[in-house]
């Protein structure tokens, strides 16, 4: 049974958490994630979930408690944003290297300073090299769907890694959206019972985790994490197919929108992909061959799928909602450009940094990007490969 | 679902981790499944100075045995027996607590050089 509801992204994610009914949730409130935790805590106090809710004193402790719970054998979750994720940073690495399948929504918000509470992806990009799987969501529906699938991806025996589910602060988290939610039983049977192969409270099979690891073994354990990330690509696709069977909605590593015959493409994460798709529809009416590529998985980076989707285009613009301050553009630009380099198709790849600190990406901005790409194709030259979109220059 | 890959951490029931194991054979995340496995991790090669026992001076008080942080003094029948050089890290605590200076520390390099010289003479 499917129910159409009008709720915000935060409500949708709290709803997903309720239906997953995790054993432990440890979290600390931070804008714009606060509602997720607040709504979920009301489910706890109303007895609608069996979750042990741990009110911790910081995000560092939130992830620590989730790590302890997960290592002990519980299905554990946390949730955060921005500064909270930054404070959690140290423990995120512990979670991934101990191979604990903790699922945590990250409601994307800029990092201070100057202080700002609005959307960009600086928080998520800070942990892109930490060994966690990162899923991105265009809207409340995808945030809800990603949460449910994240549990299965994280806990798959070939993967066993934390999964963060990203969605845009305020734009997705606080705006009312119409979406379809699954009924409780469907979600319950989809996520199944968590049965870890090994856990600290298993007295019959004792295990010691988080051991001291020297130069003679640490390197091998990092290689194991890469293998788990590699395996995650397949698992994300398989779980996506299973989820399609219960929801009717398709999920893979990437979302390729009108790319089949496209000459120009925009690559963009999260809610901005929705705006870009709208512009693509308009430009298609005018006969322009344009499309959008939205990576759903950013870590692991699905470079094979990106190559396949973009191999025939002539020019690509990567839109980054974060800076790296490397003077070489945004974080996703580096990955996409690297993926396309070996194709040797002379695809021109340029970068646009946009929307920092919550600045809107206007439809005219996306139109301008496609206009620039058309010029690049016409002249065969891309002189300026790092650009700022919507900035007062 | 395709069958699980298990492309890492196959050493689920590995009692000891060994240096000749590759990343696929080692346990996942360095987890340890058997207690007391520190004995299998040989710390002796960390040593740069080596304790050497002076049999004639030793009064078998076993103060060194009590102080050694690596349980590398082996005693038999309540008497000093030998050093466990596979695990002795060469910290020198035994030498400094011995009341009769029956333990001397020698540089491993110096010992190697001397052994080399002796071999050449033979
Ligand atoms: S402390 Fe010195 S005297 Fe005592 S047992 Fe050890 S070596 Fe012998
Ligand atoms: S040198 Fe240190 S480790 Fe070695 S036997 Fe003496 S006290 Fe023990």
SS3 state at A352? strand
pLDDT-derived band at B8 (thresholds 50, 70, 90) equals very low
Q: B80 CA distance to ligand 1 centroid (A)?
A: 7
User: Does the structure show a pLDDT above 70 at B18?
Assistant: yes
The model's confidence at residue B13, banded by pLDDT at 50, 70 and 90, is: low
For residue A7, the distance in angstroms to the closest alpha carbon of chain B comes to 33
Query: Distance between CA atoms of B106 and B48, rounded to whole angstroms?
Result: 9
> Rounded to 5 degrees, what angle do the CA atoms B2, A204, B29 make?
50
Q: Looking at chain A, which residue has its C-alpha nearest residue B32?
A: A208
Q: Which atom of ligand 2 is nearest to the CA of B103?
A: 6
Residue B34's pLDDT band (boundaries 50, 70, 90)?
A: confident
Q: Give the model's pLDDT for residue A216.
A: 86
Helix (H, G, I), strand (E, B), or coil: what is residue B68?
coil
- pLDDT at position B12 is 53
Q: Which residues of chain A have pLDDT under 50?
A: none
A340, HSE (Cβ side, Cα atoms, 13 Å): 25
What secondary structure letter does DSSP report for A372?
Answer: H
The model's pLDDT over B48-75, given as tens digits with 9 standing for 90+, comes to 999 999 999 999 999 999 999 999 999 9
Please report the pLDDT score of residue A315 as a whole number.
98
The most distant pair of C-alpha atoms in chain A lies apart, rounded to whole Å, by: 70
**Which ligand sits nearest to residue B60's alpha carbon?**
1
Residue nearest to ligand 1 atom 6, measured at CA: B64
Distance CA A71, CA A197 (A): 11
Of A156, A211, A227, the CB nearest to B7: A227
Give the per-residue pLDDT at B15.
57
CATH number of B42-122: 3.30.70.20
pLDDT recorded at residue A161: 98
Tokens of A113: 């300073």
Nearest CA to ligand 2 atom 3: B88
Pocket lining: B68 vs ligand 2, CB cutoff 6 Å = yes
Q: What is the pLDDT of residue B5?
A: 40
Q: Which of B23, B32, B35 sits opposite A224 (nearest CB)?
A: B23
* pLDDT at residue number A150: 98
pLDDT at B1: 39
Closest in B22, B33, B35 to A220, CB measured: B22
Contact A69, A24 (CB under 8 A): yes
Rounded to 10 degrees, what is the CA torsion of A293, A298, A304, A307? 30
Chain A hits for B9, CB-CB cut-off 8 Å, are 224
CB-based contact, B45 to chain A, within 8 Å: no
Does B46 reach chain A within 8 Å, measured CB to CB? no
> Chain A within 8 Å of B6 (Cβ-Cβ)?
yes
- Distance from B32 to chain A by nearest Cα, in Å? 5
Residue A243: exposure state from Cβ atoms within 10 A (0-12, 13-18, ≥19): buried
Rounded distance from Cα B68 to ligand 1 centre (Å): 11
DSSP string, B73-105: EEEETTEEEEE-TTT-----HHHHH-TT--EEE
Chain B residues in contact with A160 (beta carbon < 8 A): 28
B99 C-alpha to ligand 1 centroid (Å): 7
Residues whose CB falls within 8 Å of the CB of residue A90, separated by 6 or more in sequence, listed in order: A60
Which CATH code is given to the segment(s) A2-247? 3.40.50.970
Mean pLDDT across B20-35: 87
How does the average pLDDT of chain B come out, rounded? 86
Q: Name every chain A residue with its beta carbon within 8 A of the beta carbon of B31.
A: 198, 207-209, 211
Contact B32 A227 (CB under 8 A): no
User: Separation of B39 CA from ligand 1 center, angstroms?
Assistant: 23
Domain residue spans of chain A: 2-247, 255-389
The fold adopted by the segment(s) A255-389 is: Rossmann fold (3.40.50)
- The pLDDT confidence band at residue B3, using thresholds 50, 70 and 90, is very low
CB atoms within 10 A of CB A324: 16
- Residue A63: the pLDDT is 98
User: Confidence band (pLDDT; 50, 70, 90) for B7?
Assistant: very low
Q: How far is A236 from chain B (nearest CA, A)?
A: 11
What was the pLDDT predicted at B32?
86
Asked if A386 contacts A337 with a C-beta cutoff of 8 angstroms, the reply is no
Binned at pLDDT 50, 70 and 90, residue B41 comes out as: confident
Q: Which 8-state DSSP code applies to residue B4?
A: P
User: What is the distance in A from the centroid of ligand 1 to the CA of B78?
Assistant: 11
Tell me the best of B62, B74, B105 to mutate to test the pocket of ligand 1, counting ligand atoms within 8 Å of each CB and taking the most: B62
How do strand A290-295 and strand A254-257 relate by DSSP bridges?
antiparallel
Q: Where are the domains of chain B?
A: 1-41, 42-122
The DSSP result for A138-174, as a single string, is SSHHHHHHHHHHHHHHHH-TTT---EEEEEETTTTTT
Q: Which of A316, A98, A334 is nearest to A228 (CA)?
A: A98
d(CA A347, CA A284): 21
Q: Give the model's pLDDT for residue A199.
A: 95
Give the per-residue pLDDT at A2.
Answer: 67
The span from the CA of A78 to the CA of A66, in Å, is 7
Dihedral sign, Cα of residue A107, residue A153, residue A319, residue A177: negative
Reported confidence tier of residue B118, pLDDT bands at 50, 70, 90:
very high
């Amino acid at each position: 049974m499917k129910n159409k509801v009008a709720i915000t992204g935060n409500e949708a994610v709290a709803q997903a958490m309720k239906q997953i009914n995790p054993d432990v949730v440890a979290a600390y409130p931070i804008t714009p994630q606060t509602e997720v935790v607040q709504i979920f805590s009301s489910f706890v106090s109303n007895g609608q979930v069996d979750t042990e809710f741990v009110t911790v004193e910081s995000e560092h402790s939130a992830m620590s408690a989730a790590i302890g719970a997960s290592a002990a054998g519980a299905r554990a979750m946390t949730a955060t944003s921005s500064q909270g994720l930054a404070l959690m940073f140290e423990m995120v690495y512990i979670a991934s290297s101990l191979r604990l399948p903790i699922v945590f929504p990250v409601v994307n918000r800029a990092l201070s300073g100057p202080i700002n509470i609005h959307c960009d992806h600086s928080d998520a990009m800070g942990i892109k090299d930490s060994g966690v799987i990162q899923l991105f969501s265009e809207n409340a529906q995808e945030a809800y769907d990603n949460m449910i699938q994240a549990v299965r991806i994280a806990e798959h025996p070939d993967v066993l890694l934390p999964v963060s589910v990203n969605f845009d602060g305020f734009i997705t988290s606080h705006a009312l959206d119409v979406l379809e939610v699954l009924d409780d039983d469907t979600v319950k049977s989809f996520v199944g019972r968590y049965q870890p192969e090994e856990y600290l409270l298993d007295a019959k099979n004792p295990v010691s985790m988080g051991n001291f690891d020297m130069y003679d073994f640490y390197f091998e354990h990092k290689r194991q994490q890469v293998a788990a990330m590699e395996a995650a690509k397949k698992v994300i696709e398989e779980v996506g197919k299973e989820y399609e069977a219960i929801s009717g909605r398709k999920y893979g590593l990437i979302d390729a929108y009108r790319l089949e015959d496209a000459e120009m493409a925009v690559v963009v994460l999260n809610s901005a992909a929705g705006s870009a798709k709208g512009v693509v529809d308009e430009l298609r009416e005018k006969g322009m061959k344009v499309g959008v590529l939205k990576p759903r998985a950013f870590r692991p980076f699905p470079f094979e799928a990106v190559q396949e989707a973009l191999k025939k285009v002539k020019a690509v613009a990567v839109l980054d909602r974060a800076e790296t301050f490397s003077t070489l553009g945004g974080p996703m630009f580096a990955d996409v450009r690297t993926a396309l380099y070996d194709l040797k198709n002379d695809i021109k790849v340029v970068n646009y940094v946009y929307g920092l600190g919550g600045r809107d990406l206007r439809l005219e901005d996306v139109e301008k990007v496609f206009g620039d790409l058309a010029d690049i194709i016409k002249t065969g030259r891309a002189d300026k490969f790092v650009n700022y979109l919507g900035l007062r220059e | 679902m395709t069958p699980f890959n298990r492309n890492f951490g196959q050493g689920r029931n590995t009692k000891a981790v060994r240096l000749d194991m590759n990343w696929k054979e080692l346990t996942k995340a360095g987890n340890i499944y058997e207690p007391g496995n520190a004995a299998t991790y040989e710390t002796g090669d960390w040593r740069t100075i080596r304790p050497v026992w002076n049999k004639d001076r030793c009064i078998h008080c076993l103060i060194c045995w009590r102080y050694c942080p690596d349980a590398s003094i082996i005693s038999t029948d309540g008497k000093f027996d030998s050093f466990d050089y596979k695990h002795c890290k060469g910290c020198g605590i035994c030498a400094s607590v011995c009341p009769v200076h029956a333990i001397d520390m020698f540089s491993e390099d110096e010992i190697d050089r001397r052994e080399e010289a002796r071999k050449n003479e033979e």
